[in-house]
Amino acid sequence: IVMTQTPLSLAVTPGEPASISCRASQSLFDSEDGETYVDWYLQKPGQAPKLLIYTLSYRASGVPARFRGSGSGTVFTLKISRVESEDVGVYYCMQRIEFPYTFGQGTRLEIK
Amino acid sequence: EVQLVQSGAVLKKPGESLKISCEGSGYTFAHYWIGWVRQMPGKGLEWIGVIFPGDSDTRYNPSFKGQVTISADKSINTAYLQWRTLKASDTAIYFCARRPATAEGSFNYFDPWGQGTPVTVSS
């Protein structure tokens, strides 16, 4: 499954919203359990990826409410309601409905 | 606290062998999958494979099969990623990550991750 993210980079003013899109080459919806298996990660410079959103829209423990995952089928979005300076890094979507799991190319978020 | 601690950075020559490790703590190691991810310099993330330490069930990304070996020793809570013959193109940071093995697929996400092991292969 190919995961395609857009844009590949974006620069956002603190306090403004940001949106990252991810498209899968096939549906990530599992009709057996009704779940959609896309996760979002943030990799800050020099660090390991950190889970933000799992199974389409569930925020991981400790993740601020300004992060929101949405979408369906093959099209997904990560939205940050008000960007803060600590949000800089590379964001990845990842599918885990089918092995091998695959990541998007990554979207680099910078602060203006 | 659940933690994955990886072995340190290594510098190897082409043709040499290597085994890096990922030690889990704060949970029952045998009951969770461990996955391995490659990040080549300046590039994105790629899944190499996963292993279930409880029974050593292992699955490889076809792109990596035959190039690396994934193993685990549940008696010492450690998973391994191994190369027989390193190439310069194996230069990358390698991450391990933990995944539950529940019947509830929605909770089978990868978290936490190890800190990464930088591997440099150069003559």
pLDDT at B103 over 80: no
Q: What is the pLDDT of residues B67-87, one digit of tens each?
A: 999 999 999 999 999 999 999
Mean pLDDT of chain A: 97
Q: What is the pLDDT of residue A112?
A: 93
Exposure class string for A82-97: b at 16+ Cβ within 10 A, else e: ebeeebbbbbbbbbbb
Angle at A8 between CA A59 and CA A96, to 5 degrees: 45
* Shortest alpha-carbon distance between residue B13 and chain A (Å): 24
The SS3 of residue A2 is coil
Give B103 or A65, the one with higher predicted confidence: A65
Q: What is the pLDDT of residue A15?
A: 97
Identify from B110, B115, B117 which residue to disrupt to test chain A contact, counting A C-beta atoms within 10 A and taking the largest count. B110
Backbone torsions φ then ψ of B30, nearest 5 degrees: -70, -15
The SS3 of residue B31 is helix
pLDDT at B116 over 80: yes
Q: What is the pLDDT of residues A15-37, one digit of tens each?
A: 999 999 999 999 999 999 999 99
* Partner residues linked to A70 by β-bridges: A77
Q: What is the pLDDT of residue B102?
A: 82
Q: What is the pLDDT of residue B16?
A: 98
The torsion of the CA quartet B99, B101, B105, B110, rounded to 10 degrees, works out to 0
Q: What is the pLDDT of residue B70?
A: 98
Average pLDDT over residues B26-33: 96
A92 touches chain B (CB under 8 A): yes
Average pLDDT over residues B105-112: 91
- For residue B108, the chain A residues in CB contact (below 8 A) are 96
The SS3 of residue A85 is helix
Residue B107: pLDDT band (50, 70, 90) is confident
User: Comparing C-alpha atoms, which of A11, A6, A1 is closest to residue A105?
Assistant: A6
Q: Measure the CA–CA gap between A55 and A43, rounded to whole angstroms.
A: 18
What tokens appear for A66 in the block? 């300004």
Q: What is the pLDDT of residue B105?
A: 82
**Contact residues, B window 45-64, toward A, CB-based 8 Å cutoff:** 45-47, 49-50, 59, 61-63
pLDDT at B23 over 90: yes
What tokens appear for B2 in the block? 């659940």
Q: What is the pLDDT of residue B101?
A: 87
* Shortest alpha-carbon distance between residue A28 and chain B (Å): 12
pLDDT at B104 over 90: no
Average pLDDT over residues B44-61: 96
Q: What is the pLDDT of residue B31?
A: 95
